[in-house]
Amino acid sequence: MLDAPNAPIRLALVAEDPLARGALSRALGDQGGELLVVASGTQVELESTQGEVPDVVLWDTGLRLPDADTRVEAPDLGAPVLALVADEAAGEVALTAGARGLLFRDVGPGPLAAALLAVARGLTVFDPALTEVRAAPRGTPSAVTGTAGPDSLTPREREVLALLAEGLSNKAIADRLSISEHTAKFHVNAVLAKLGVQRRTEAVVRAARMGLVTL
């Protein structure tokens, strides 16, 4: 959640290529004071570091797709993710992995900054050429119904769901997982959204029916 209307958006920049990170950081730095880069590094580096929780994550997926047998997860930093992709195939992978928005890697600094601000405020952003990926995401049949299948929850979200089933509050979940309460709340909201419910108890009941948790 954003701290104040006029506060800069805290941005975490995730890219495996240090040259790409540098170029993106410089480009966004030229857009004024609306964006503040609070973390920059590879996905492994940032996920293993307990730093400041960002408002939005910019994920450069690079030029090459992972091997077909490799499961891809969007950066788990407690904030919505905007992915930069090379093509539609990469966009499909990023969307399935949990990205909130998709833009091509050659997007200009102005549109990129605007998209990051929108995603930080809870909106979804897609390049017009990627709307087919958005309209017809691949994956489990449950994607069509609007509810989540077992494979749509990230490992962290599965942990949070199990703790929800124990009746834990956001603060208790945060303490159990050694994360901030802000991050715990983000994961709880993500679980509710993926299960297509509004309340925690509904999420637990639906998850039990789907075999995701045992009551």
Question: Same domain, yes or no, for 118 and 167?
Answer: no
pTM for this structure?
Answer: 0.64
The verdict on residue 4 lying in a domain is no
Residue 49 identity (one-letter amino acid): T
Task: Please enumerate in sequence order all residues whose Cβ is within 8 A of that of 195, keeping only pairs 6 or more positions apart, or say none.
Answer: 147, 148, 202, 203, 206, 207
The verdict on residue 202 lying in a domain is yes
Question: Same domain, yes or no, for 31 and 89?
Answer: yes
- Boundary-marking domain end, from 112, 135, 158: 135
pLDDT tens-digit map of 25-38: 998 887 777 889 99
- Boundary-marking domain end, from 135, 158, 179: 135
The verdict on residue 28 lying in a domain is yes
Phi-psi region of 98 (alpha: psi -120 to 50; beta: other; left: phi over 0): left
- Other CB atoms within a 10 A radius of the CB of residue 87 amount to 14
| pLDDT band per the 50, 70, 90 thresholds, residue 142 | very low
How many whole angstroms separate alpha carbon 145 and alpha carbon 151?
A: 15
| pLDDT band per the 50, 70, 90 thresholds, residue 66 | low
Question: Same domain, yes or no, for 69 and 157?
Answer: no
Residue 98: its pLDDT value, please?
Answer: 85
Question: Same domain, yes or no, for 155 and 65?
Answer: no
Is a pLDDT exceeding 60 seen at residue 149?
no
Q: Which whole number is the average pLDDT over 90-101?
A: 86
